[in-house]
Chain A
Amino acid sequence: MAEIIGGYFTSHVPAIGGAIHKGLKADPYWKPFFDGYPPVHEWLAKARPDVAVVFYNDHGLNFFLDKMPTFAVGAARRYDNADEGWGLPLFKSFEGHVPLSWHIIEQLVDDEFDITTCQKMLVDHALSIPFELAYPDASVWPVKLVPIAINTVQHPLPSAKRCLALGRAVNKALASWGGNERIVVIGTGGLSHQLDGERAGFINAEYDSFCLDNLAGDPDALTHDSVHEIVRLAGTQGVEVLNWIAARGALGLGAAREIHRNYHIPISNTAAATLLLEPA
């Protein structure tokens, strides 16, 4: 029977990719952020997941605004990165887990989530950077991928409550999957940040702490705020916390235990966070 080994949550700021490529991990600006990852490496080395189910948001690589799904589940054999507009070195490709993708899709539709399915799907920095951080020495990714994209770009966005329910439906699918894989659930993005408008540079450590403190034990606490209120508290791009909430849901209804946390201000315009949870 498949086992969910836990959840890994991390920011995905594009500049992190730049710092990795330029070898800046020990640079004083970057060190407090990258110091959050050795515990992730050790945890993954011990837990040895072979599948990753990743909740993230696309930033105009796979989806343009002409067709913008609220929830999109990848069911591709392979996922490639591509030029996101900056001509940066490309991130490594991923092997898909097609049967598990379709199993999750079946469960989600059964639970009345009207999702989009993608047999071709480019994955951007929001998906790739968490793996660069988790497996810095890998020549190929040691996990197969099931990506789940949440619209955090074009309002109306799905509510936090709906994202948690989506994650919980994914958990049902993982619990009923007949394989013997070891599955890690990943949520990417956030935490508080705002790139646009006169409030650009907004960061809110108080709200980030609220999220980090409650994600393991009481994730429903994060669903009481409307998306608009989350924008007020976390910034226009801080709504990426929806990806974290969905990923927490995929760990199941039971309690979760915090294994590791790192929180650092700032990375680029963002309050950066790293969190590991295990089913209690």
Chain B
Amino acid sequence: MTKTPTPARDAPIAGTHIFDGDAAACGLELNAMCYSFNDGANRAAFLADEDAYCARFALSAAQREAVASRNVLAMIAAGGNIYYLAKLAGIFGLSVQDVGAQQTGMSVDAFKAMLLDQAGQIKSREAQHG
């Protein structure tokens, strides 16, 4: 898929994937499948026969591989939007901390500790600004 030229002011943000038109176009089938998981019967159908369920939504090879390997960054690279991917993650009982840990290459405990440690930002601001 051709990437639309990015205006100069939109310099890339490290570790950040903007869900724009290119991503939305690329990810439509994957996101449509995830959207279907709003229905419990569809979640059950996915769990009962994942291959057949993915085939119904005509996932691309990259999307199917990303889902099969439960690889969130690969799903995002294949156009997945995190709000929709969260519905898929829920089927496996995964929280946004589990998903965050996987994407950052941390253990879940380390990722949760990192979030808790960010409370230090408040203290250091108070120390700076009184």
Contact = CB atoms under 8 A, between A and B. Distances in A.
Interface in A193-209: 194-206, 209
Contacts of A154: 19-21, 24, 81
B87 A200 contact: no
A231 B14 CA distance: 11
Given A198-B73, A200-B103, A266-B119, A236 B96 contact: no
B39 to A, nearest CB: 7
Interface in A222-261: 226, 228, 231-232, 236-237
A65 interface: yes
> Which of the four size classes fits the interface of chain B?
35 or more
Interface in B68-108: 72-73, 76, 81-87, 90, 95-97, 99-100, 103-105
B114 A201 contact: yes
Given A200-B99, A205-B121, A265-B118, A195 B15 contact: no
Interface in A149-208: 153-156, 194-206
B63 interface: no
Contacts of B81: 60, 65, 153-154
Interface of B: 9-10, 13-21, 24, 28, 31-32, 34-35, 37-40, 43, 72-73, 76, 81-87, 90, 95-97, 99-100, 103-105, 111, 114-116, 118-119, 121-122, 125
9 contacts: A59-B83, A60-B35, A199-B13, A228-B9, A228-B10, A228-B18, A232-B13, A236-B19, A268-B96
